[in-house]
Amino acid sequence: MAIAAGRVLLALYSLFYLLGGVLCQEERPLRCFQTSTDCGDGDEAELPYSECCAIASAAFMINDTCYECSGLLSFIAQTYEVGEGDKYVSVGVRRVVNPGTNTFFFSAVINDGTAKAGIDYGQFPDSGVGFIHVILMDESQVDAGIVILDDNIVEYNENFTVSLQPLSNTFEPLGDPQDTVEVTITDDDKVDISLSPRGPLVVNESSSLVFLLNKTGLADRAVRVTVDLSDQELEFGDGAPPSIRTFTFEPNDPPKQIDVVVRDDDVVEATEDHLIFLRVPEGETGVNLPRDSETLRVQDDGDSE
């Protein structure tokens, strides 16, 4: 009797599990991929949600809803309203589990399917913040500035070596599409990068300001990053002058996080909602900047992250 009852309960549980898997697949706009041996045979292969979510130890956060999947990544994202004329949005990614597994596979469908991921493969360190570039499908030319190589290693287009991206509930592009970022290799073999936004930065109570620096190919050098907020309605989180500051990354330094807040009648409140992330990923691929003392101008064509 007990065995029969157990079999009935097991059948009901299996039916509930299968139905849950179907509902999960219909409701979640994200396809689930897994690269570890815990989910499939170790190859990057698409799996049913009922299988992939069964080993969930990480989660997708979309529209304030937690979607568990894959066990590799945890997505920290907010809802981005993409209006007419906007070319891209970004989704923040934080690696929190499976240290040592640097490669992930990700594919996204945003809202009603009018956007697609501009990058499928990405590499991030064991912890820190990275970004996935998402581009509207109705653009005449789709170029995320990222090349996916055959061996799943990411190569960055030189036009996107240094990029600025404000994250906000209402997306606004940064300045003129012809803006450039000046990168100088100094005599003391350091790299000077000056980030001075030309246009308004959108920062409100529910958004973050993100500076993304790609140090690919410069792992053996220190990098100095100058952030200029003097023309913005922003201040650094501690509220102390000056508004132009220089931060140094030594080789193999972890990502640095800097508070920035909205300037409001000399009242400065440092909150975790207003952050600048200076991101220096390591790697062998990417742009090989010149090693002698000279200036490299990196063109931003308006489609970068």
Residue-level pLDDT at 157: 30
Q: Which amino acid is at 46?
A: E
Look at residue 221 in the predicted model and tell me its pLDDT.
55
Percentage with pLDDT > 70 across the chain: 0
Q: pLDDT digits over 216-255, tens only?
A: 334 455 556 566 666 555 666 666 677 776 666 565 555 4
What average pLDDT does range 141-167 have in this prediction? 28
Band the pLDDT of 126: cuts 50, 70, 90.
Answer: very low
All residues at 6 or more sequence positions from 181 whose CB lies less than 8 Å from its CB, including other chains: 162, 163, 164, 193, 194, 195, 297, 298, 300
Residue with tokens 């991206």: 165
DSSP reduced 3-state for 257: strand
CA angle 20, 110, 75 (to 5 degrees): 70
Average pLDDT of span 206-211: 34
The maximal CA–CA distance of the chain, rounded, in angstroms, is 84
What is the average pLDDT value for the chain, to the nearest integer? 38
pLDDT of residue 237: 61
Any idea which of 72-86, 176-190, 278-292 has the lowest mean pLDDT? 278-292
| Contact (CB, 8 A) for 287 and 145 | no
Q: Give CA–CA dist 140/119, Å, rounded.
A: 18
- State mean pLDDT over 145-173: 28
Tell me the pLDDT tens digit for each residue of 14-70: 333 333 333 333 333 333 333 333 333 333 344 443 333 333 333 333 333 334 333
Hey, where are the domains in the chain?
73-299
pLDDT in the model for residue 239: 62
Contacts of 225 (CB under 8 A, 6+ apart): 193, 195, 211, 213, 246, 247, 248, 249, 278
pTM listed for this prediction? 0.28
Mean pLDDT value across residues 99-128: 34
